[in-house]
Structure 1
Amino acid sequence: MFKVSNQQAINGQAEKAERNYVIQKNDRLELEVYTNQGERLIDPNNYIDQDNPGASGAGAGAEKKKANTYLINEEGILKLPMIAPIKLEGLTIMQAEELLQKEYAKYYQQPFVVLRYTNKRVVVLGTPGGQVIPLANENMRLTEVLALARGINNDARASNIRILRGDTLFVADLTTFEGYKKNNILIKPGDIVYVEPIRRPISEALRDYGPVLSVITSLTTLIVVLISL
């Protein structure tokens, strides 16, 4: 389906996937802010979640408050409550957390910020069918994505799984333990995973031309019956 790229390009892209995800335009981030290095959730007056009526409060008896999500706009800027709009595009999640901690330190003692991206996806094609798999974690591997796509069944070639990343193609063979260790690479947002189906020419031909053969058989039977009269 795709042209195979050289091994050096594959290794280079795999190494890049090892790094923390870099925030991009149109990313949607989930924010949680705590004081005292994570001891207690801040925002007792519900400023952060004031636009989310369904979020639980942070007052007495509230163990955990539902986090809001915020969009990185086309200028790479994130608008958050209580602080000025801040440019996060190009930063890793960890770098963005450290930057936001400095901003919230103007209002709270020893703030602790947790950011998560919530709208990253991988497309899985081929035997599992066209599926969009959300990347719940930053460092999900190929086998995790395949498992979420209902795994590899008897109609799939585990020796020819292809991952298209931009202009680069990876070919993964998961039929052996050594192949698993070598090819269970980290998946990046925007990857396309193609699981090649096993071709069965006879059964596929019967499926494709079955209606035509049925008509021919019926006509032949009718002709034989008419001749025998």
Structure 2
Amino acid sequence: MLLALEEAKSNYTLQENDYIEVEVYTNEGELIIDPNNEIRRELNSGGNNQQLRQQEKPQFLIREGGLVKLPLVGDIALAGLTLNEADSLLEREYSAYYEDAFVITRYNNKRVIVLGSMGGQVIPLQNENTHLIEILALAGGVGNQSRVDKIRLIRGDLNDPEVRIINLATIEGMKNASLKVLPNDIIYVEPVQRITSEAVRDISPILGLITSTLTLILLVNRFSE
């Protein structure tokens, strides 16, 4: 249990090589959009012109050593902080430039993978409180082709993963399913097995052989008369 708690804590703190988005608002709730072109200048000076063209919002890399370079405030250490802790720290830093600044920080590279009847999908995690049911909804929802009573949540080292079987077909299962997903979780939704069609497919070669044999017997009997 302690190991699981430590793993969850490390997965949901900012780490080296994470990409983040940072939005700064005024105390009246207005988004400060590239004030004085500071963000554009920061990106241009870093040789990220293509990144600026490709993205609506600039993203920032937490470099080796845990530092990230942000507009106006420059290098600041964020590694090891949760999103809430990073927001509080950046609000203090940006309040030197804007009165009562309000900051929202988001992950850009935390994600889970959904496999099985829902296809292969990569779902980004933008906050620390995303639950399994939310992920299934973001992936398009479970339909008639999916078994909701045997959803597998695979977590940890794939050489020795932790596998949880989740049942969304009952109220009790729904209660147990209200759990957080963690970055790099794999969710496998088992497809419904169509017994009739699969049975026909499996015995088709045998039926073909029987039909061919009967046809041969009939032809032999006809010619022998």
* Partner Cα separation in structure 1 for residue 76 and residue 207 of structure 2: 67
Question: 1:48 is paired with a residue of what secondary structure?
Answer: helix
Residue number in structure 1 paired with 2:36? 45
- Aligned pairs, how many? 209
1:182 partnered with 2:182: no
Query: Which ranges in structure 1 are unaligned for 5 or more consecutive residues?
Result: 1-8, 56-65
- Equivalent of 2:22 in 21, 27, 31: 31
Match of 1:223 among 216, 220, 225: 216
SS at match of 1:123: strand
Match of 1:162 among 128, 143, 152: 152
When structure 1 is superposed on structure 2, of 107-116 and 215-224 the one drifting more is 215-224
Q: Distance in 2 between matches of 1:140 and 1:172?
A: 16
Q: Report the alpha carbon displacement of residue 192 of structure 1 after superposing the two structures with TM.
A: 0.8
Give the 5 Å matches for 1:46-85: 46-50=37-41, 51=43, 67-85=57-75
Long gaps (5+) in structure 2 = 44-48
- Contact 1:160 1:195 survives alignment (8 Å): yes
Conserved? CA contact 1:49–1:67, under 8 Å? no
| TM-score of the superposed pair, with normalisation by structure 2 | 0.73
* Alpha-carbon distance change, 208 to 125 in structure 1, aligned in 2, over 3 angstroms: farther
Counterpart mapping for 1:117-136 below 5 A: 117-136=107-126
Query: In the alignment, which residue of structure 2 is the partner of 1:60?
Result: none
CA distances 1:53-112 after superposition (whole Å, capped 9, x unpaired) = 659xxxxxxxxxx53211223443212223332221211011111222233334343322
Alpha-carbon distance in 2 for matches of 1:172, 1:18: 23
Which residue does the alignment assign to 2:95? Answer: 105
How far apart are the structure 2 equivalents of 1:156 and 1:145? 15
Alignment RMSD (CA, Å): 3.5
Percent identity (aligned): 45
The answer for the alignment partner of 2:166 in structure 1 is 172
Structure with higher helix content: 2
**TM-score, normalised on structure 1?**
0.72
